[in-house]
Each structure stands twice: as C-alpha cells, then as structure tokens.
Amino acid sequence: MSFKTIEDFGSLAGKTAVIRVDINVPMQNGQVSDKTRLFAVKPTVDAVKASGGRCVLLAHFGRPKGQVIEDMSLKQVIPALSEVLETPVGFATLSDALPDTDVILIENTRFHPGEEKNDPGLAAQFAALGDVYINDAFSCSHRAHASTEAIAQLLPSAAGKTMERELTALVNALGAPKKPVCAVVGGAKVSSKLAVLENLVEKVDHLIIGGGMANTFLFAQGIEVGASLCENDLAETAQLILSKARDKGCKIHLPNDVVVAHEFKAHADNRTIPNTDVDDGEMILDAGIETVEVLTKVIAESNTLLWNGPMGAFEMEPFDRATVALAKAAGAATEAGDLLSVAGGGDTVAAMAHAGVKDQMTHISTAGGAFLEWMEGKDLPGVKALG
C-alpha cells in the first residue's frame, strides 16, 4: 500500500490545502456531544499551517441525499471545531467567496447530488478551492465520492496525519506483519463477516472466532447450541471456511467451554459448561474461563494482533468477562512492547473502552465500514487514489 504524505509536498507557503476530514459528529441539544473526530483533524491542520499553508476543509454530515437540509448543516459544528483547533474557523458554501481565515469549513459535501456519484464536475469545483489535496478521512475512503476519489485525480494528493497513522498501522497489522499473526473476529452474525473470515484465513496464523458467530461454527461441527443465536443455514459455509483454514495453515479457535443462560439480560442466572452440554433452552452468551486461558496464551505467543468484534454479550455483566480478559491481555502485551495490536469497528472500540485498554492498544480504528472492507482485502478507492 503506497501513499504520499504531507511532507512530500515540501513547503506549502502561499498554498491552500483542500483537506477531506470526517467530522460527522454526534449532536445533542445543538452541541457536539463527542469531539473525538474533531481532535483527529488537528494534527493535519497544524502540519499544513506549520508549512505555511491555508486549510479548506471538506466534510459530510448525516445523509441529506443531495438535498440542502438545514438540520444537517456543518455550520453547527463550527464553535466546537474552532475550540479544538484553537483557531477561528471560517465557513462558506461552495459558491461563496472564501473568508479571510487560515482554516475554512465548506458546507456539507452531501448537499450536492454529485458527491456520492463521484461526479467529476463537482470534484473540479472542490479542486478549485486549493492547490493540493489531502485525504484525512480513512472512515470515508471505502466509497468513491467526489470529495474522496475524483478530486484526488485533479490535484497533487497525499494522506493527512490521521490517515497516515491509520494506514501505517494497517500495513503493519496485515500488509507486512511480524508473525505469528492472530486475529480475533467476533460479533453476532457470520453472514456480516464472511468476506473478512475468508480473507483472514489466508493471512493469519491464528483466528479466534467469538460471539454469536462462534455458535454457527460449533453447530457446523455437529454441536447443539440450544437457543443460542445461530445461522443454521450457513453451516456448510462455516465448514468450507474451516476446511480452507486447514489448507492454509491457519488454526481456528472456538470456545471449548461456554457461559450459558436462559435469559438475555444482565446478571441472568448462568453456568459455565463444556460446549457439548448446552440444553435446548439455554443461550451461549460468552466464552468460558478455560477458553480464555487458552486464548490468552495464543495472544501471548503472537507478535501481531488484529481485533474486530467482541467475544460475547459484553454489554451485559457477567457476559463481558471473556472480552475483557482477552482485551486486558492484549493491552498488557502491547504496553510491554511484545505485541502490535490493531482493533477496529464500533462494537470493538466500545469493548476496548469497557475493558479499559483503549489507550494501551497500538491503534484503535473508528472507521467502521472502511475498516471492515480493508479486513476483507478490498481496495479502498479513497486510499488507492493517493498512490
């Protein structure tokens, strides 16, 4: 994966950088309720300003589908963005003259029908705003839009600081990793991560499958899973993945003991049993302690870890224990310098935060769909355009 960086531009004195950012932030009572994505913009803005350049920011907000919807105007983000960037942020629509500020935010790119159609005409309007293009929105780069792909064909282009950090972590985790490589893939359904699993068995040495997905794989091996979440119709597909893993030398790890309950609720009466002893009315809600001990050793013996999805119903105690225990093991190994760890996906970020290891991992990706498509082995148009 090759890409240029801001440093490849040399001096930006007297130049304007058009920067695609992701500030699709949550709002509550007219205020930004989580500024994480705003803080991710700052390193790139600071780098451009330090090089003498001016910043014009492109971003989307919500899903206006090519219509101008006042509630989805980026104008409401300006106060919080100015505070985070520690500089006044100007605001303009695409047809306005640009205000005389070092940082300018352009109105919602998705107010234009051509944005999601990757329209060359709209991309040319975006490109006319500056001299170079910087993509700092990995989370938006799995779609070929005018502000992520077409514009990169029109201006000298590079990855921003946040994008650079993300791409470097991903290359280190799967592109050119230090072996052995372990992947944890959890969550509810195999169907949502088929392509991920099929790609990973060709790339990793150990594949840990958890959550509801594991139930489908257990069922595929003739193990009764009671009332557990299970995609019975994908048993044959699961068998094919198990077979492919054997052929590729990838060891798949499934729960040997499981935590079961009759109710899907926090602190429900539960028991820990071998995976072969699940009664008809019981649901598997987590991996058991023996499984955790085995998997902790697998992580300890790995040099690279890729994580997407929880091991169980981590939102509810005590069914968060396997996820928390493995996350803590990964965090400790990373902090000790023994493991490169990359985790991503909405539930995964929440799980790492719940386990208290979010700041210990090498890299946490909040990219969602882009992270999953990268795990599937797909080219991301917004990233490819930077090569």
β-partners of residue 257 are 274
Closest CA to 159 of 139, 127, 138, 136: 136
How many residues are present in the chain? 387
In the residue annotation, 346 being an active-site residue is answered as yes
In the residue annotation, 165 being an active-site residue is answered as no
Contact 200, 173 (CB under 8 A): no
Give the annotated binding-site residues: 22-24, 37, 60-63, 110, 143, 193, 315, 345-348
What is the C-alpha to C-alpha distance for residues 331 and 326, in angstroms, rounded to an integer? 9
Written as six digits, the tokens of 269 are 């009466």
Give the annotated binding-site residues for substrate: 22-24, 37, 60-63, 110, 143
Task: Catalytic residue, from 4, 15, 49, 369: name it.
Answer: 369
In the residue annotation, 42 being an active-site residue is answered as no
Helix, strand or coil for residue 22? coil
Give the annotated binding-site residues for ATP: 193, 315, 345-348
How many other CB atoms sit within 10 Å of the CB of residue 251? 15
Task: Catalytic residue, from 4, 117, 346, 377: name it.
Answer: 346
Task: Catalytic residue, from 4, 15, 189, 248: name it.
Answer: 189
What is the C-alpha to C-alpha distance for residues 373 and 162, in angstroms, rounded to an integer? 18
How many other CB atoms sit within 10 Å of the CB of residue 79? 13
Helix, strand or coil for residue 221? coil
What is the C-alpha to C-alpha distance for residues 385 and 162, in angstroms, rounded to an integer? 17
Give the annotated binding-site residues for (2R)-3-phosphoglycerate: 37, 110, 143
What is the C-alpha to C-alpha distance for residues 260 and 228, in angstroms, rounded to an integer? 9
C-alpha pair distances (Å), 279 with each of 104, 161, 260, 327: 61, 52, 9, 29
In the residue annotation, 189 being an active-site residue is answered as yes
Cis preceding-peptide flag for 274 (omega within 30 of 0): no
CB burial of residue 258 (10 Å; 0-12, 13-18, 19+): buried
β-partners of residue 25 are none
Provide the annotated active-site residues.
Answer: 37, 189, 346, 369
